[in-house]
Amino acid sequence: MKSILIIDDDPRNIFALKAVLKAKGFTCLTATTAEDGLELLNEHGDEIGIILMDMMMPDMDGYEAIAVIRQRDTISQVPIVAVTAQAMVGDREKCLEAGANAYISKPVNVDSLMGIIDDYLEKDV
């Protein structure tokens, strides 16, 4: 089973997502900056099956990070779920237009998240 990469600048969000995902049997890699997340992708690209990307981070935001990922041949096809507190009209479309495969707003509904992950990532049973 491939790992899930969580990129979020808030350690509390990482903690919560990681706890839920580990309880469901997934392995997680985490990064608190987009730059660190990109480095993990460079190092572990073959092991990562999906990325949960916070869209609002300092320095490089999720939109910029997605653009970088989509331009790199070796990791351009990794599914990306935009995870954001922005839930205004048009935010979902903006994330999808930026290259995300799916969108979920914070606070994250676990059932919705698991449905998205199941769509993109097969779990060993």
Q: What is the pLDDT of residue 122?
A: 65
**Confidence (pTM):** 0.94
Domain residue limits, the chain: 1-25
Percent of the chain with pLDDT over 70: 97
Task: Quote the CA–CA distance of 67 and 55 in Å, as a whole number.
Answer: 12
Write out pLDDT tens, residues 22-78: 999 999 999 999 999 999 999 998 999 999 999 999 999 999 999 999 999 989 999
pLDDT at 88 > cutoff 80: no
Q: For residue 116, give both structure tokens.
A: 């998205």
- Residue of 80, 79, 68 whose CA lies nearest to 42: 68
